[in-house]
Amino acid sequence: MLIPHSCPSLDKKEIKKVTEVITSGEIAQGKLVKKFEEKIAEFIGAKGGVATSSGTTALHLALLSMGVKKNDEVLLPSYVCTAPLNAINYVGAKPVLCDINDYNYNLSFEETKRKVTKRTKAIIVPHLFGFPAEIDKFLNLGIPIIEDCAQALGAKYKSKMVGGFGNISIFSFYATKMLTCGEGGMLLSNSEKILRIARDLRDYDEKEDYSIRYNYKMTDLQAALGLGQLDKLSFFIRRRKEIVRKYNFAFQKCNFKLPLVSKEIEPVFYRYVVKTKNNLKKYLVSLKKRRIVCRRPIYKPLHQYFQLRGLPNTEKAWATALSIPIYPALRESEIKKIISVILEVFEK
Ligand SMILES: Cc1ncc(COP(=O)(O)O)c(C=O)c1O
């Protein structure tokens, strides 16, 4: 049997919650969405939340509610999926791609600082792979920050939940994320003004004036799933950490570098990413042959779509980073199989 790279953990509890919504007859955005917003905001320690149809639409609403528009510049890492880039392009702003650190996969502060201009209106800072970025440094720049916590629900930086630092944070509840609604997202903020604008833009109906608005709503069906998952989040995180301990112990014998954890961060290990020697393609094929799906954790860095150069750490990460399956639904027998296959392919 093939062990997939990602897999959600769903059971009878979620089935029951979703069934209750179906039988209630109120399946669109309603009281469960509100409850889900309150629970996530409380969990992170933010004033309020606006649930959306995806992390991408949460990012779009974040930029709109901050007033980012045509010709403004928004900084983001090149080493991320295309969702943040799309959101910047939706509002007509200019994306400015920055390199990542050489010691982790997060946005480089030095490089970002160098690329700030008078036109910089926001910086998108992802906590990639569930590993917190050095968010306090970015906040000191005095430029509005969007914390992209799509992969990092529950992670902590200097003992505080990520998503509670910036002006705005966003989350994704896609099928493979820390918790899932199938699809879904959320924007959190401590600013009543931001929350009000984002709520207004999320829905087009029954407004007194006309301006462009969106249908970015989450449904109660999705929120029911999310609430069921949220009850299990601490277990999910614990289980991921248990698997990390097993992997770290077994993989000491391998010719790659293990994920680095510093004192200041408590990652949630959304991904278990190791740094291999430059032979990634060969490794991926040989792992698949052995029925384990490992991946490049970022399909393609953004600058490569535009044939840009000058982002050496991003290039290096793309050439060497390998993501090994990690999720709470992994069975013990699957973990054993993954360990034995990884040792077979990578033992020194
Ligand atoms: C860092 C990051 N930001 C944003 C998103 C977008 O989220 P969604 O897929 O829910 O639109 C993702 C999704 O994978 C992501 O990994």
Segment 183-204 shows an average pLDDT of: 98
Nearest atom in ligand 1 to 56's CA: 11
pLDDT in tens, 83-94: 999 999 999 999
pLDDT in tens, 130-172: 999 999 999 999 999 999 999 999 999 999 999 999 889 999 9
Q: Could you tell me which residues come within 8 angstroms of residue 93 by beta carbon, excluding any fewer than 6 positions away?
A: 63, 68, 69, 70, 71, 72, 73, 74, 121
Is the distance from CB of 83 to CB of 130 less than 8 angstroms? no
Is the distance from CB of 317 to CB of 103 less than 8 angstroms? no
Q: Where are the alpha helices (DSSP H) in 164-258?
A: 192-202, 220-230, 233-250
What is the rounded CA–CA span in Å between residue 34 and residue 220? 9
HEC states along 195-208? HHHHHHHHCCCCCC
- CA–centroid distance, 24 to ligand 1, in Å, is 31
Q: Quick one: pLDDT at residue 166? A: 81
How far is C-alpha 289 from the geometric centre of its chain's CA atoms? 29
What is the rounded CA–CA span in Å between residue 289 and residue 190? 49
Task: Report which protein residue has its CA nearest ligand 1's atom 8.
Answer: 55
Mean pLDDT for the chain overall = 97
| Pairing status of strand 73-77 against strand 265-266 | unpaired
Give percent of the chain with pLDDT exceeding 90: 97
Q: Which domains does the chain have, with CATH numbers?
A: 12-230 (3.40.640.10), 233-346 (3.90.1150.10)
- CA–centroid distance, 199 to ligand 1, in Å, is 20
Q: Quick one: pLDDT at residue 1? A: 86
Q: Quick one: pLDDT at residue 279? A: 81
Nearest atom in ligand 1 to 176's CA: 14
- CA–centroid distance, 283 to ligand 1, in Å, is 26
Is the distance from CB of 274 to CB of 324 less than 8 angstroms? yes
pLDDT in tens, 4-14: 999 999 999 99
Q: Quick one: pLDDT at residue 163? A: 98
Residue 51 pLDDT exceeds 90: yes
- CA–centroid distance, 51 to ligand 1, in Å, is 14
Is the distance from CB of 46 to CB of 190 less than 8 angstroms? yes
Alpha carbon distances (Å) from 118 to 75, 121, 143, 175: 12, 8, 10, 39
Strand partners, 292: 3
Segment 293-318 shows an average pLDDT of: 97
Ligand 1 is surrounded, with C-beta below 6 A, by 54-56, 80-81, 83-84, 126, 148, 150-151, 172, 174, 185
**Ligand 1 test: best mutation among 86, 100, 105, 151, most atoms within 8 Å of CB?**
151
- CA–centroid distance, 300 to ligand 1, in Å, is 14
What is the rounded CA–CA span in Å between residue 116 and residue 139? 13
Segment holding 65, helix H or strand E? helix 55-65
Segment 213-225 shows an average pLDDT of: 98
